[in-house]
Amino acid sequence: MSSDHTRARRRDRRVYLASHPVLFAAFAALRRSPVRRAGSRVVVSGTDAVRRTLTEIRLDRVAERTTGGAIRRHEGSGALFDQTGDAHRLARRDLARRLDSRGVAQLRPVWRPVLDEMRAALARGDEIDLCDVADQISGRTTAALLGLELTPAECVELARAARRTASSAAAAEVPSWRRLGFRDDLVDAFDGRVDPLGKMLALAAVNTTYAAVPRAVAWAADADLWPDALDPVRRPVLVAELLRVLAPTPLLPRVPAAAAELDGCPITPDDQLLVMVRHAVEAHRRDPDVDAPASPAIGQLVFGAGAHACPGAHLARTQLDDVLAALAPYAPRVVRCAADRRAALPAWRTLVVAARSDVGSSP
> Which of 188, 289, 274, 210 has the alpha carbon at shortest distance from 244?
289
> Which of 98, 110, 309, 349 has the alpha carbon at shortest distance from 215?
349
pLDDT score, position 165: 85
Per the CB < 8 A criterion, the answer to whether 304 and 247 are in contact is: no
**Range from 24-28, 30-34, 205-209, 249-253 carrying the lowest mean pLDDT:** 24-28
> Which of 116, 62, 96 has the alpha carbon at shortest distance from 201?
96
pLDDT digits (tens, 9 = 90+) for 67-89: 555 555 555 544 444 445 555 56
The number of beta carbons lying within 10 Å of the beta carbon of residue 195 is 14
Q: How many angstroms separate the Cα of 357 from the Cα of each of 81, 194, 230, 330, 353?
A: 47, 46, 18, 9, 12
The dihedral through the CA atoms of 294, 298, 303, 307 has a sign that is positive
Question: How far is Cα 151 from Cα 149, in angstroms, rounded to an integer?
Answer: 7
Give me the DSSP letters along 136-199.
Answer: HHHHHHHHHHTT----HHHHHHHHHHHHHHHHHHHHHHS--SS------THHHHHTT---HHHH
Question: How big is the chain by its Cα radius of gyration, in Å?
Answer: 20
Report how many helices (DSSP H) and strands (DSSP E) the chain contains, helices first: 15, 9
- Amino acid sitting at position 194: V
> Which of 190, 124, 167, 202 has the alpha carbon at shortest distance from 18?
167
Give the up-direction half-sphere exposure of residue 346: CA atoms within 13 A in the CB hemisphere: 22
pLDDT score, position 330: 98
- Amino acid sitting at position 238: L
- CA 266 from chain centre, in angstroms, equals 30
pLDDT score, position 166: 84
pLDDT digits (tens, 9 = 90+) for 256-282: 999 999 999 999 999 999 999 999 999
- CA 267 from chain centre, in angstroms, equals 28
- More confident of the two residues 353 and 2: 353
Per the CB < 8 A criterion, the answer to whether 54 and 305 are in contact is: yes
Question: How far is Cα 307 from Cα 316, in angstroms, rounded to an integer?
Answer: 19
Question: How far is Cα 355 from Cα 333, in angstroms, rounded to an integer?
Answer: 6
Region 119-134: mean pLDDT is: 97
Q: Which residues of 115-132 are buried (b: 16+ CB within 10 A; e: fewer)?
A: beebbebbbeeeebbbbb
Question: How far is Cα 72 from Cα 93, in angstroms, rounded to an integer?
Answer: 20
pLDDT score, position 210: 96
pLDDT score, position 21: 75
Task: Give the angle 247-19-220 at the CA atoms, nearest 5°.
Answer: 45
What does pTM read for this prediction? 0.88
Q: What is the mean pLDDT of the chain?
A: 85
Region 168-175: mean pLDDT is: 60
Per the CB < 8 A criterion, the answer to whether 92 and 311 are in contact is: yes
Q: How far apart are the first and last CA of the chain?
A: 31
Give me the DSSP letters along 239-272.
Answer: HHHHHHHH-SS-EEEE-BSS-EEETTEEE-TTSE
* pLDDT-derived band at 357, boundaries 50, 70, 90: confident
Element (H, E) at 234: none
pLDDT digits (tens, 9 = 90+) for 287-332: 999 999 999 999 999 999 887 788 899 999 999 999 999 999 999 9
